[in-house]
Amino acid sequence: MHENFHYTLIKNFSSFAHNVVPSTLTMPKKKDDPDYFYHICRKCLIAFTYKTTYTNHKEFCITGQCGVKMPIPGSVLKSKDYMQRKYMSKHPIVGFLDFESILEPMNEHAGESTVKTQIHKPSSFGLYFVTDLDITNKHTLYRGEDVMQILMSVIKDVSKQYLELSVKFPICPVLTKEEETKFKNAKYCCICNKWLNGATYVTKAGKCMKDYRVRHHCHFTNKFIGAARTICNLANSVPDFIPIYAHN
């Protein structure tokens, strides 16, 4: 760089930022390797060591289009095995969490050449639960001391309410005449949309089970949903956990 110029031309950005930009999981090959590839995305500053990975990345990074393809509205999600069927229904509750913290100065040696100069101390949090259930404290915003203790207290309280509601109606209610007719005349499973043929299936333990037509209902509202296959009804049991997504 010339001392009389404020700007300088960077001809190879990937080489320029090689030591400061984190690469993908695989280490880059040597430059004399015919399959050598190393490129840093100029938009998100992520290094790639495989050309195919970078090509797929550009689809949503440069164009702004999301790489995850969502199902077409109204389409039916198809599943191939038992474990996937439980993901074909919406989770009753999900939480979103964000922290704010204060940087407190410190001077602590952590090894021969590392000195910790700052520590993050949580100062506030915002927690929001998206659900149709009758939960009392869906939104909590707290600022003050004992942030982590208050957060865990809120999560435990919501979890307790959720678990109590999940076992409120364990047995399917008595159907009305219209609902019973709908159940008997149904040709397809209301969960996987496959034919209700009463076939026999083999469990992972090697046991043969009859795939009967059963009454599928909501354990929170006690409302009849529809006719379902036994294997689908068992897979769609009420989740015993609450997913919480925290902002990094």
Q: Is it the case that residue 83 has pLDDT exceeding 90? A: no
Q: For 195-248, what is each residue's pLDDT tens digit?
A: 887 777 666 677 777 778 899 999 999 999 999 988 888 888 888 999 999 986
Lowest mean pLDDT among 85-94, 127-136, 174-183, 237-246: 85-94
Give the CA angle between residues 153, 158, 159 to the nearest 5°: 95
E runs forming strands in 29-137: 39-40, 47-48, 93-109, 115-131
Q: For 142-185, what is each residue's pLDDT tens digit?
A: 999 899 999 999 999 999 999 999 999 999 999 999 999 999 99
Q: How large is the average pLDDT for residues 21-25? A: 54
Question: Pick from 35, 39, 48: which is nearest to 16 by CA?
Answer: 39
